[in-house]
Amino acid sequence: MNTSLRGLLYLVIGIAVIALVCVWPAFFLLPQVGAGVALPVIVLPAEVLQGNLLPSFFGYDVTNTFTSMILVDIILLVIGFVVYRATRVSAPDRFVPRGFTNFMELVTEFLYNQGRPLVGENTRKVFPVAGTIFLMLLVANLVKLVPGFESVGQLACAEPNQTYYNIHKPYGSGGAYFYLNNALDISDRSGTRANEDDTHACEEKYPRLTPPIVLAKQARGTYTETKGPEENTESEGDHSEEGTPESGEQPADATGEANPAEGETAPDPTQSSSINPMSYRGVDSTVAKAETGNPEAFVVIPWFRAYATDLNLPLALSLIVVVMVQFWGVSALGPSYFFKFINLPALGNLGKKPLGAIDFIVGLIEIVSELSRLVSLTFRLFGNIFAGGILVIVLSFLMGFLLPVPFYLLEVFVGAVQAYVFALLTFIYAGQAMTGHHGDDDHAEAHH
């Protein structure tokens, strides 16, 4: 057969395979065992794990990016210590490093050679900052791809407008998992967004599962209480509270690419032997819909989250870079560095060159340009890492088998590139600040 007919055959086979592999398991096969296509829980700010760590002193909430930060710092310190020992202590006479030290020298030299043409003789001032930023972002963006990040965590009640799931505990097994009846189950409300009644009902029934951020706000007195239900939700039988689960004691689960309904195993909140365990959903869905809220609205708060998805980190790094660029400019050019912004020489030459007034206005616009660097550095890093994380998690929830793999590789690439780009931009901004603007024409007199 000719080529176009063969192409048509391949196309039809391809569509059939895609329908078989992507549509049928996710929407028809797996929901029958309670594992359907679901909506992931995406939260923009970092989630609080333990509020008010030192309430009388700091009132600081431990978020799940704080734990990531500690992990990244420990990794960096270990790397630094190992390389230091290898170069200084164990074999000081060995000029050619081996193994891991060789790799770190490769990384450092790569960045140094990237920066040296841009900065020139001031590399010794700029390279420590740029190198630290590069290594920290590299480690932070690569460690977020380890299985367990953003997927293993503690159980909590769903806050309003979070997608929640009920817990299903099969009879005779020791664990439980999040349960979904149909794919994109809207009718049953599991897998949809919670409202305030759900949060209230859940907090009343499982007070130990109150979201930590709510506890922190209550302790600080800044929690605005939404109107709760008047009566308790109707549950079947009488449930004793001795089975309330401990938050944070879950054994680790498989990677985030696994079946979306396989959540973390948790001790089951309530036990009632009068209900058929295979259909146990906690609260009868008709009751949940009709009355004041679903107390079984749970969500998982991951213990670790990608460090750069906390907006504070890119903002902090951008602030450091922008402020340090001003320092380096002054150290290289002296106080006349600020003539870039407030162009006094151009103003002073108004008699001879009236068009110098334009240079003065341009100098003022340079201030805006500096501030826009702050914004662009922050959001470039934050947007890339956060959007990449959302992409992977949404694809994992859509079809967790093989589909997220190329996007996972994309994440590896994007994470490394964003780290490199941040450091490179540090070099570029420093180089621009230190060479200064030579736009004026009255450099005929010696201006060294």
Partner 1 sequence: MISDKGMAFIAAGLAMFGAFGPGIGIGLMVNGAMQAIGRNPDAAGAVQTNMILGIVFTEAIAIYALVVALIMVFVA
Q: Indicate which single residue of 42, 186, 319, 323 sits in contact with partner 1 (rule: CB under 8 A).
A: 42
Per the DSSP assignment, residues forming a β-bridge with 66 are: none
3-state secondary structure 171-202: CCCCCCEEECCCCCCCCCCCCCECCHHHHHHH
Residue 43 near partner 1 by CB under 8 A: yes
x/- binding map, residues 377-406, to partner 1, per CB under 8 A? --xx-xxx-xx-------------------
Q: How far is the CB of 387 from partner 1 (least distance, A)?
A: 6
Residue 376 near partner 1 by CB under 8 A: yes
Q: Kindly tell me which of 83 and 419 has the beta carbon lying closer to partner 1.
A: 419
Q: How far is the CB of 324 from partner 1 (least distance, A)?
A: 20
- Residue 297's closest CA among 162, 154, 184, 175? 162
Helices within 85-122 (DSSP H only): 99-119
For residue 166, give the H/E element and its range. Answer: strand 166-168
Q: How far is the CB of 246 from partner 1 (least distance, A)?
A: 30
Cβ burial 372-400 (10 Å sphere, 16+ → b, else e): ebeeebbebbbebbbebbebbbebbbbbb
Q: How far is the CB of 386 from partner 1 (least distance, A)?
A: 7
**Are 230 and 137 spatial neighbours (Cβ–Cβ below 8 Å)?**
no
Q: Indicate which single residue of 15, 29, 44, 323 sits in contact with partner 1 (rule: CB under 8 A).
A: 44
Q: How far is the CB of 121 from partner 1 (least distance, A)?
A: 21
Residue carrying structure tokens 């996972």: 408
Residues 146-185 that bind partner 1 (CB under 8 A): none
Residues 263-292 that bind partner 1 (CB under 8 A): none
Residues 6+ apart with CB under 8 A from 254: 147, 262
In one-letter notation, the amino acid at residue 194 is: A
Residues 61-120 that bind partner 1 (CB under 8 A): 114
- What's the chain's length in residues? 448
Among the listed ranges 92-100, 266-274, 373-381, 438-446, the one in contact with partner 1 (CB under 8 A) is 373-381
Q: Kindly tell me which of 91 and 424 has the beta carbon lying closer to partner 1.
A: 424
- CB-count exposure of residue 438 (10 Å: 0-12, 13-18, 19+): exposed
Q: Kindly tell me which of 32 and 376 has the beta carbon lying closer to partner 1.
A: 376
Q: How far is the CB of 419 from partner 1 (least distance, A)?
A: 12
Q: Indicate which single residue of 22, 219, 403, 424 sits in contact with partner 1 (rule: CB under 8 A).
A: 424
Q: How far is the CB of 85 from partner 1 (least distance, A)?
A: 34
- How many Å apart are CA 300 and CA 308, to the nearest integer? 20
Binding site for partner 1 (CB under 8 A): 42-44, 114, 376, 379-380, 382-384, 386-387, 417, 421, 424-425, 428
